[in-house]
């Protein structure tokens, strides 16, 4: 089943599943770059593990794990410039952290706290996580249209899962990118499963990258478990986009090693042997192996990294758990720049009800 994860001709890749170099590393990818990428992937994997644990212990709401997707998010984040805009979907934790989103904010968002989306740094221009499937691609096309209209040398990166490519929103957005030659890079995280629907039942096309043919934009299929391949493909696509040459569709082939979310149980529809096989393509392990065999990563460095990561995640968790509760009407505050009257009326009714409940000693009034 995992022939698509193998190093097949036509799919961009540099470091294979065994940690072996199969193509010359591109310009800009040094040992220091590889070490930074590896450290970031380890950080995100540990953060992801902690987030799942928080949900399992009732300290967080439903959470979408990015286990096995670390190379995609890291490669994208390493390729983007500060001036670019990220329109993420819900497995883009690795990219968001590289853009300046704190680990505490990642936890806040999935804890239901809207303040986790108040980004700083390069991410201040970025959009919040998109939970509806595929709708973010339309938003991204709109941002790209604004960039082109203003004549700025910026680009948008919008990500989605393989399941989202079955949605009209995605095709409509890509069609607009093609017709108007918009500076947008669309990255499909092809992790093989759209919740319980396997990739093979989602489309009759041989690859997801070839869907770009229908809309007239460039495309490429890459090894999504190879951080170098992701970086190179996204960097090239961004360069094209910023220079006015239009958009690109990138299919990053990977595998979802986790459940779809913590509300899912993938053992009901996937064989354990399939998941075990997919672990052989682990993006983190392969880069560690490559660096280790070069003599550029030692057990002592690994232990030091894990200690540093644990300390930083423990602090993020403590800060998340100690954050003062948000205002009850906060979830209404970030939808529109200027709150429209119907929403304002709902807000006023909510506040009035809370005031009555508080006056009654906290008893809920269901009238």
Helix-then-strand count for the chain, H and E: 11, 7
Report the distance separating Cα 230 and Cα 73, nearest Å.
9
Report the distance separating Cα 355 and Cα 350, nearest Å.
9
Catalytic pick from 56, 269, 334, 356?
269
Burial class (CB in 10 A: 0-12, 13-18, 19+), 167: middle
- Whether 269 is a known active-site residue: answer yes
- Whether 270 is a known active-site residue: answer no
Pairing between β-strand 193-194 and β-strand 197-198 as defined by DSSP bridges: antiparallel
Q: DSSP letters of 167-222?
A: SHHHHHHHHHHHHHT--EEEEEEE-SEETTEEGGGT-SSS-SGGGGGGTT-EEEEE
Catalytic pick from 90, 256, 281, 286?
256
- Whether 167 is a known active-site residue: answer no
195, 75 Cβ separation under 8 angstroms: no
Longest dimension (CA), the chain: 71
Q: H/E element holding 347?
A: helix 341-359
85, 124 Cβ separation under 8 angstroms: no
Catalytic pick from 260, 281, 286, 320?
260
The set of catalytic residues is 256, 260, 269
């Amino acid at each position: 089943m995992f022939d698509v994860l193998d190093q097949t001709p036509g799919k961009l890749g540099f470091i294979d599943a065994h940690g072996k170099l199969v193509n010359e590393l591109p310009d800009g990818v040094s040992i220091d770059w590889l070490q930074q990428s590896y450290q970031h992937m380890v950080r995100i994997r540990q953060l992801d593990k902690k987030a799942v644990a928080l949900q399992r212990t009732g300290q967080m709401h439903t959470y979408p794990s990015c286990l096995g997707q670390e190379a995609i998010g890291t490669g994208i984040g390493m390729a983007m410039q500060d001036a670019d805009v990220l329109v993420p979907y819900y497995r883009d934790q690795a990219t968001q952290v590289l853009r300046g989103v704190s680990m505490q904010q990642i936890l806040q968002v999935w804890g239901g706290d809207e303040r986790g989306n108040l980004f700083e740094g390069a991410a201040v221009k970025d959009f919040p996580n998109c939970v509806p499937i595929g709708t973010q691609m339309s938003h991204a096309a709109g941002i790209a249209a604004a960039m082109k209209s203003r004549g700025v040398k910026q680009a948008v990166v919008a990500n989605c899962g393989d399941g989202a490519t079955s949605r009209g929103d995605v095709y409509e957005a890509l069609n607009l990118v093609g017709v108007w030659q918009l500076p947008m890079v669309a990255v499909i995280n092809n992790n093989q499963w759209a919740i319980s629907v396997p990739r093979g039942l989602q489309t009759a096309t041989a690859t997801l990258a070839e869907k770009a043919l229908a809309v007239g934009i460039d495309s490429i299929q890459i090894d999504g478990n190879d951080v170098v391949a992701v970086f190179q493909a996204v960097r090239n696509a961004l360069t094209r986009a910023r220079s006015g040459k239009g958009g690109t569709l990138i299919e990053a082939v990977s595998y979802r090693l986790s459940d779809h979310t913590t509300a899912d149980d993938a053992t009901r529809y996937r064989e354990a042997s399939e998941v075990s096989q997919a672990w052989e393509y682990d993006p983190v392990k392969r880069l560690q192996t490559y660096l280790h065999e070069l003599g550029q990563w030692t057990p002592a460095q690994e232990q030091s990294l894990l200690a540093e990561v644990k300390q930083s995640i423990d602090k993020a968790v403590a800060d998340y758990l100690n954050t003062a509760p948000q205002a009850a009407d906060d979830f209404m505050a970030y939808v529109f720049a200027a709150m429209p009257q119907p929403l304002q009326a709902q807000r006023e009714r909510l506040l009035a009800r809370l005031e009555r409940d508080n006056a009654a000693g906290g008893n809920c009034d269901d009238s």
